[in-house]
Amino acid sequence: MQTTPLVITSILNFAEAAHPRVEIVSRTVEGRIQRYDYAGLAARTRRLARALQALGVKSGDRVASLAWNTHRHLELFYAVPGLRAVLNTVNPRLFDDQILYVLEHAQSGVLFYDRSFQPVVERLADRMTTVKTFVLMADEDSHDPGTVSALNYEALVGAESDAAFAWPVIDENAGAFLCYTSGTTGDPKGVLYSHRAVVLHGMAAGLSSAFGLTAFDVVMPCSSLYHATAWGLPFICPINGCKMVLPAEKMDGASLQELMSNEGVTFSGGVPTIWTMYLAHLAQTGGSVGSLKRIIIGGSAVPRAMAQTFKTKHGVQVLQIWGMTETCPLGVVATPTPALAAGGEDHVDEVIWTRQGRLQFGIELKIVQDDGTEAPRDGETSGALMVRGPWTIQRYYRKDADAADAEGWFDTGDIATLDADGFMRITDRAKDVIKTGGEWISSIDLENIAVACPGVKIAAVFGVPHPKWEERPLLVIEPHEGAAVTKDAVLAFLEPRIVKWWTPDDVLFDAVPLTATGKIDKKVLREKYRGHLAG
């Protein structure tokens, strides 16, 4: 058999040949709606590649982006790896010093940025030692780079022709994307995705056991292109012939609803916080979900109440997914099976909504207990979740030691169970587990219950030092705007739903801090309230 390398440009070539007229619709940062198709994407990408070559970008170089979900960012997703260079997608929600750290660590020579990030670039430009070329991703007539001497994206692309540009031959194990973890503990860590990993991941994610996409789907990624390649959707869509809709930075409920109904979006995905805003908007306006049929939610546990509202009020199926930057990022997806269906619809919902997902071909899972032995697959025994496979990390970028063990197993830092049907359930992140009187409380389970209490927008549970019990849980609640929620009401809501010793020692009302990837920032909460139960 042939040994054709698995490379990212082959996805673009395929889309151009197989479904050239399937649309790609993007909001732009200027607020326009840009429309073209896979043939148009391929043509502009070739021109961009020529422009990058003209800028001196060579094989192995790192090119950085600070950008939203737009067609321009999508073009960089293909042009940079297509030239055998590496696209370092920087998360703009990181702190200034972390953004600088990432750029310096990746040693990126060119920085592409949306004009929303002009202030950050202006603040940091003098401290960037490796970036020599700045490119502002804006329409030519709105090009206003301020104090930074930046080229214009459209001018660069416009100056090139796409005629007879042949992509170079690429080694499938070469790096394509450099994605950093959000660094809630310590500096962000770089994960270099190879072409092979991205292609295999992209092929697997569309399967019926996972996203189950067809050419009839219209897909809007609300997971960020800068965070672990938006769950691979920029590759999964062209592989499956799906129309793509890109929302730029407009992830508020009203903007999402408008774009979704205008473009006939059937499938979307994003972290729970986005869907909280979207559902709140629908509830306020009585608006409809349009053609939306299914959404994938991950990054944090899906609140049960959210999945239920989507189903009962809007007829939308929620599929929970789990993954991490270190797994490209997809690990498992919660899709039904005949075995589940035999137990009835309620049983299917219960499992799909409360498990992170089931085993997918290409990524192996096992649970390891404290004594080093593998836990039984009984759905009850929890332990450290280990993963391995062709899109799992071997070693962090520019680190000396492997992150995976000698057999390839990578410890995810999550605590989970696995059952006989291959469904995995996360009970906590190892560092968030609350240890109280020799027992464990799952902060995720408690949050999931608390967030269903009327008026609660976000519920955060974390352990703080306690003189007698080692740690006890506190519950911090951010209510919906205008909702009157009281401590007594929350405790009364929890009482019939949890065992007594799980009851939080206090319920506080505060704004819940989120990390750069939209997760509850428990480190900040633990620090803020560390003395709350002392003495």
Looking at the annotation, which residues are catalytic?
181, 326, 435, 440
* Residue 187 phi, psi dihedral angles, 5° rounding: -70, 150
What is the Cα–Cα distance from 273 to 277, expressed in whole angstroms? 7
Query: Shortest gap between Cβ of 325 and ligand ADP (angstroms)?
Result: 4
Tokens of 172: 């499938």
Tell me which of 301, 328, 433, 452 binds ligand ADP, using CB under 6 A.
Answer: 301
Q: What is the DSSP string of 127-170?
A: G-SS--EEEEES-GGG---TTS-EEEHHHHHHT---TT--PPP-
Distance, C-alpha 190 to centroid of its chain: 15
Footprint of ligand ADP on residues 235-254 (CB under 6 A)? none
Footprint of ligand ADP on residues 411-440 (CB under 6 A)? 412-414, 426, 429
- 324 scored as a contact of ligand ADP (CB under 6 A): yes
- 517 scored as a contact of ligand ADP (CB under 6 A): yes
- 88 scored as a contact of ligand ADP (CB under 6 A): no
- 106 scored as a contact of ligand ADP (CB under 6 A): no
Window of 21-29, 96-104, 481-489, 513-521 that interacts with ligand ADP by CB under 6 A: 513-521
Query: Shortest gap between Cβ of 329 and ligand ADP (angstroms)?
Result: 6
- 515 scored as a contact of ligand ADP (CB under 6 A): yes
- 485 scored as a contact of ligand ADP (CB under 6 A): no
Window of 140-148, 306-314, 316-324, 393-401 that interacts with ligand ADP by CB under 6 A: 316-324
Give 3-state DSSP helix, strand, coil % of the chain, rounded to 5. Answer: 35, 25, 40
Instruction: Compute CA distances 307 → 90, 221, 242, 272, whole Å.
Output: 31, 18, 24, 10
Query: Shortest gap between Cβ of 426 and ligand ADP (angstroms)?
Result: 4
What is the Cα–Cα distance from 227 to 412, expressed in whole angstroms? 17
Answer yes or no: are the C-beta atoms of 172 and 196 closer than 8 Å.
yes
Tell me which of 177, 267, 322, 493 binds ligand ADP, using CB under 6 A.
Answer: 322
Q: Which residue has the tokens 């609350």?
A: 434
Q: Which one, of 183, 190, 29, 221, lies nearest residue 93 by Cα?
A: 183
- 299 scored as a contact of ligand ADP (CB under 6 A): yes
Strands in 277-328 per DSSP E:
294-297, 317-323
b/e sequence 178-204, b meaning 16+ C-beta within 10 Å: bbbbbbbeeebbbbbbbbbbbbbbbbb
- 306 scored as a contact of ligand ADP (CB under 6 A): no
Answer yes or no: are the C-beta atoms of 174 and 192 closer than 8 Å.
no
Query: Shortest gap between Cβ of 425 and ligand ADP (angstroms)?
Result: 9
- 266 scored as a contact of ligand ADP (CB under 6 A): no
Answer yes or no: are the C-beta atoms of 243 and 401 closer than 8 Å.
no
- 98 scored as a contact of ligand ADP (CB under 6 A): no
Tell me which of 40, 232, 247, 298 binds ligand ADP, using CB under 6 A.
Answer: 298
Q: How many helices (H) and strands (E) does the chain have?
A: 16, 25
Q: Which one, of 67, 64, 48, 62, lies nearest residue 9 by Cα?
A: 48
Tokens of 151: 């080229």
- 269 scored as a contact of ligand ADP (CB under 6 A): no
Query: Shortest gap between Cβ of 365 and ligand ADP (angstroms)?
Result: 13
Q: Which one, of 275, 145, 147, lies nearest residue 223 by Cα?
A: 275
Query: Shortest gap between Cβ of 317 and ligand ADP (angstroms)?
Result: 16
Query: Shortest gap between Cβ of 531 and ligand ADP (angstroms)?
Result: 27
Footprint of ligand ADP on residues 146-185 (CB under 6 A)? 181-182
Q: Which residues pair with 470 in a beta bridge?
A: 436, 466
- 340 scored as a contact of ligand ADP (CB under 6 A): no
Q: Which of 310/322 has CB closer to ligand ADP?
A: 322
Q: Which of 29/387 has CB closer to ligand ADP?
A: 387
DSSP conformation class of 374: B
Q: Which residue has the tokens 């990030």?
A: 117
Query: Shortest gap between Cβ of 331 and ligand ADP (angstroms)?
Result: 8
What is the Cα–Cα distance from 390 to 367, expressed in whole angstroms? 19
How many residues bind ligand ADP (CB under 6 A)? The answer is: 22
- 89 scored as a contact of ligand ADP (CB under 6 A): no
Window of 72-80, 157-165, 408-416, 469-477 that interacts with ligand ADP by CB under 6 A: 408-416
Query: Shortest gap between Cβ of 183 and ligand ADP (angstroms)?
Result: 7
Q: Which of 38/322 has CB closer to ligand ADP?
A: 322
- 347 scored as a contact of ligand ADP (CB under 6 A): no
Q: Which of 135/433 has CB closer to ligand ADP?
A: 433
Binding site for ligand ADP (CB under 6 A): 181-182, 228, 298-301, 320-322, 324-325, 329, 356, 412-414, 426, 429, 515, 517, 519
